[in-house]
Amino acid sequence: MALITPFGKDGVAERMVSVTMEQFVAVTELMAELVRQIEAGEVPAPGDAKRTVAEYRATIRMAMEERQRLEDKLKTANGVARGHALDFDAARDEIRRRLARLRAAGGGGEVSG
């Protein structure tokens, strides 16, 4: 039985998540640099610093929400629930194989299928 992962087989989804994560890291690094500047007293006005920090926090929050939305959309598109999906054709084939083995072993009588 085959297990279908949330990101499919083509690698496009993985690249999209990778790009999103790179952007998230870049924004986080900018935020860290801003905090360093504030601590060093390089930001001219406290009001501007607070506003800038709030904007960066909102940007980080938005990036995290977008990443989650992207992952959810990819999972839905690939038929994934609870982190994985089943390949029902492969499952049926596996069941048929096992039933055939039971029939071949004998003593099982007729098995529907």
The pLDDT tens digits along the chain (113 residues) read 455 555 555 666 677 777 777 877 887 787 788 778 878 877 656 677 677 778 777 877 887 787 788 777 777 766 665 556 667 788 889 999 999 998 888 765 665 65
Query: Which residues pair with residue 86 across a beta bridge?
Result: 3
What is the pLDDT at residue 26? 80
Contact 1, 91 (CB under 8 A): yes
Q: Max alpha carbon distance in the chain (Å)?
A: 87
| b/e map 3-30, b = 16+ CB within 10 Å | eeebbbeeeebeebbeebeeebeebeee
What is the pLDDT at residue 95? 92
pTM above 0.75, yes or no: no
